[in-house]
Amino acid sequence: MEFTPRSILPHRYPFLLVDRFGGLEGDHFTAHKNVSHNEPFFMGHFPSEPVMPGVLIIEAMAQAAGMGLAARENFGGGEVGYLAAIDEARFRRMVVPGDVLRIEGDILAFRRGLCKVKVQAFVGDDLAAEANLSFMYQV
């Protein structure tokens, strides 16, 4: 099976926010999002000074976490995780067109359909955002 965002995640344009899955080593995963001037949300957020909304950075981190868990658990692409909690979210810098968002995370627990993940998003070496995310999976 091909392991790409489109083959694993149920999301599609304009809501597919992971461009490439970098891989999984143990419980640590990486993914990337190329932030383009053509993103539809920049038309309104904000036209004169485009900034990626924090909620969409969280969503990109959640999608990356979904791919990391799918890789670890050998999911076939039909499983869907629903975001259940966002804890300790912090935004450290703006994400703007031209940035490449590198998402890294660690799967902390996965029991009885509940997954906990610590995720960070970087632009270059700068931490842009971080959060602890929880998901409910129907497996």
d(CA 63, CA 83) in angstroms, rounded, equals 10
Q: Catalytic residue, from 11, 32, 37, 45: name it.
A: 45
Contact 87, 134 (CB under 8 A): yes
Identify the residue whose tokens are 């904000």.
Answer: 46
In one-letter notation, the amino acid at residue 38 is: N
- Residue 16, classified by CB atoms within 10 Å of its CB into exposed (0-12), middle (13-18) or buried (19+), is middle
Beta strands 28-34; 114-123: pairing state: unpaired
Q: Is 32 a catalytic residue?
A: no
d(CA 73, CA 60) in angstroms, rounded, equals 20
Task: Please state the length of the chain.
Answer: 139
d(CA 91, CA 121) in angstroms, rounded, equals 9
Active site residues: 45
